[in-house]
Amino acid sequence: MIWLFDILRFVLKSKPLYHLFGHVRVTEGQALRRGQTFYANASCFFRASVPRLQGPAGKFLPSICRWIKKGELVLDSERACEILNIFLHILEDHPAFYFFDEDFNGQSREFLESSLNLELGDNAYHRPDNVFYEAVRMNSYEDVLEYADYAPDWCIIISEEAYKEHTDNGENVFYFLVRSDMQNVPRLPGKEFPKDEYGLSLMAVCVTPKGGISSITSRWNYGDDQDCFLTLSELELLVGRKIIDQMLNAVCL
């Protein structure tokens, strides 16, 4: 039960346990009931520290507790809880959500991170000064595949059908917006996920023959069902009007 005390101590900011439970007897006859009560309270406050556990991802609470008990996961700071919350956020939007049971099929944290191509370390990426964007035209699916190592779960890369659907079978044109540090950004969810360093360092803009924008997506592959990773004004703020005009005018020539 020590690991449960560690969780609760962090969540309660090291306040005395009797603030929750009052004075608890330690008689043998009450041991089971006390343990059940403690686990229920720990779970309640654990969910408060990791909000995603209050939603569909809450089904994974038993496996999260198992990771903590085995020392695979340490929640000793707000940042650690934040990273776990983002991890669950990503998982909710991933097909793997329906593959895993409440115990992650007995798998380790390392296995989950590897399966989802994540790097859930505690060190945030620091963007270099003077980074810049380049608009790279994708003339075919083969061009898109050249970025597979940098976006392992992006639907327009792993599925030619998704690529054809977005481009309307070649009627539309993809431009990849590649930031100069893109290759060095770890697949680490940031505080602003999905609009974090990883997501913003490689984006795709699909341009119509009439010079319109049909979709803006990111290599996080988040929200692609709505194709609205960024608004046009957000995009202009990031890359500048010159690059946007370059993409829109090129398809009209």
3-state secondary structure of 175: strand
222 pLDDT tier (thresholds 50, 70, 90)? low
Tell me the C-alpha distance between 154 and 152, whole Å: 6
Residue 224 has pLDDT above 60, yes or no: no
Question: With contact defined as beta carbons under 8 Å apart, do 105 and 97 qualify?
Answer: no
What DSSP string describes 206-228? EE-TTS-EEEEEETT--STTTTB
Q: Tell me, what's the pLDDT at 251?
A: 61
Residue 250 has pLDDT above 80, yes or no: no
Query: How confident is the model over 43-59, as a mean pLDDT?
Result: 81
Query: How confident is the model over 18-25, as a mean pLDDT?
Result: 34
Q: Tell me, what's the pLDDT at 34?
A: 43
Share of the chain above pLDDT 90, in %: 41
Which of 204, 249, 244, 201 has the alpha carbon at shortest distance from 227? 204
Query: How confident is the model over 198-226, as a mean pLDDT?
Result: 86
Residue 20 has pLDDT above 50, yes or no: no
15 pLDDT tier (thresholds 50, 70, 90)? very low
pLDDT, the chain, mean: 79
Q: Tell me, what's the pLDDT at 95?
A: 75
Q: Tell me, what's the pLDDT at 39?
A: 45
Q: Tell me, what's the pLDDT at 173?
A: 95
Q: Tell me, what's the pLDDT at 60?
A: 93
Q: Tell me, what's the pLDDT at 160?
A: 93
Tell me the C-alpha distance between 218 and 64, whole Å: 28
What single-letter amino acid sits at 16? P
194 pLDDT tier (thresholds 50, 70, 90)? confident
252 pLDDT tier (thresholds 50, 70, 90)? low
pTM higher than 0.85 for the full model? no
Residue 119 has pLDDT above 80, yes or no: no
Which residue has better confidence, 102 or 22? 102
Query: How confident is the model over 87-107, as a mean pLDDT?
Result: 87
238 pLDDT tier (thresholds 50, 70, 90)? very high
Tell me the C-alpha distance between 156 and 141, whole Å: 9
User: Element (H or E) spanning 177, and its range?
Assistant: strand 173-179
**Which two tokens mark 75?**
């929640």
Which residue has better confidence, 112 or 142? 142
